[in-house]
């Protein structure tokens, strides 16, 4: 069983960068996704270069985030503050044609998009995991939850997403609780007991 433990939002802030490095060096974190438009992106790149054992990929921000290009360059996507709309349906259909999504509608939307994308990409040599966990539990990746998840995991490959930070960024965003779970001795012990191989996408095999 191969499991990728990923930190989201690397480069968004110095507090997140510090948490990612600590979770990798002292805990079980294997990977991070880099937000190139984040306020601490340059620091994150420098830290990644100093830490080659941390696998770093790109965080594609499609909604609710800053952009690299200006509103003048992509006026149909970006507001006057240089940010993408917070609602993915509103972004795709227009400002007056959608309402903000609930968490349940978010899950349904992501599930449908995932299936659509999987069909389109099935003929390409891309490494993917059988399951992805944690995307809808930002701020709730507690030690207890992670222990339950790893105890009952049966798929050959999985990615588990976290939003670690040394400070509480917002209610549903990066947080110290996710960092604590990644540093948990009980989580590390369970990984060993279940003979789970901590992996990264470049090292993923047997997909």
What DSSP string runs through 136-159? T-TT---HHHHHHHHHH--SSEEE
Q: Which pLDDT score is estimated for 120? A: 84
**For residue 52, what are its two tokens?**
């080659």
User: Measured between alpha carbons, how far is 109 from 63 in angstroms, rounded to an integer?
Assistant: 13
Q: What is the pLDDT along the chain (207 residues), one digit of tens a residue?
A: 999 999 999 999 999 999 999 999 999 999 999 999 889 999 999 999 999 999 999 987 776 677 777 777 777 777 777 777 766 555 555 544 444 455 668 667 777 877 887 788 888 888 889 899 998 787 789 999 999 999 999 999 999 999 999 998 776 789 999 999 999 999 999 999 999 999 999 888 544
Q: CA angle 108-112-118, nearest 5°? A: 145
Fold type of domain 2-198: TIM Barrel (3.20.20)
Q: Which pLDDT score is estimated for 88? A: 58
Residue 198: partners with Cβ closer than 8 Å, 6 or more residues away:
2, 3, 4, 5, 28, 30, 191
**For residue 66, what are its two tokens?**
């800053």
* Residues forming a β-bridge with 58: 34
Q: Residue 204: left (phi > 0), alpha (psi -120 to 50), or beta?
A: beta
């Amino acid at each position: 069983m191969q499991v990728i433990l990923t930190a989201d939002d690397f480069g968004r802030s110095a507090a997140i960068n510090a948490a990612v490095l600590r979770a990798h060096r002292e805990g079980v974190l294997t990977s991070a996704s880099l937000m190139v438009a984040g306020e601490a992106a340059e620091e994150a790149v420098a830290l990644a270069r100093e830490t080659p054992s941390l696998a770093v990929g790109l965080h594609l921000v499609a909604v609710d985030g800053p952009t690299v290009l200006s509103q003048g360059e992509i006026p149909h996507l970006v507001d006057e503050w240089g940010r993408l709309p917070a609602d993915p349906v509103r972004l795709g259909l227009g400002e007056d044609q959608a309402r903000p999504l609930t968490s349940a509608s978010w899950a349904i939307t992501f599930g449908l998009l995932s299936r659509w994308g999987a069909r389109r990409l099935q003929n390409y040599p891309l490494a993917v995991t059988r399951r992805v966990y944690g995307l809808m539990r930002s701020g709730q990746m507690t030690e207890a939850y992670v222990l339950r998840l790893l105890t009952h995991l049966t798929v050959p490959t999985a990615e588990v997403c976290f939003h670690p930070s040394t400070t509480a960024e917002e209610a549903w965003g990066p947080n110290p609780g996710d960092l604590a779970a990644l540093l948990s001795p009980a989580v590390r012990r369970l990984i060993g007991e279940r003979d789970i191989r901590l992996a990264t996408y470049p090292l993923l095999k047997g997909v």
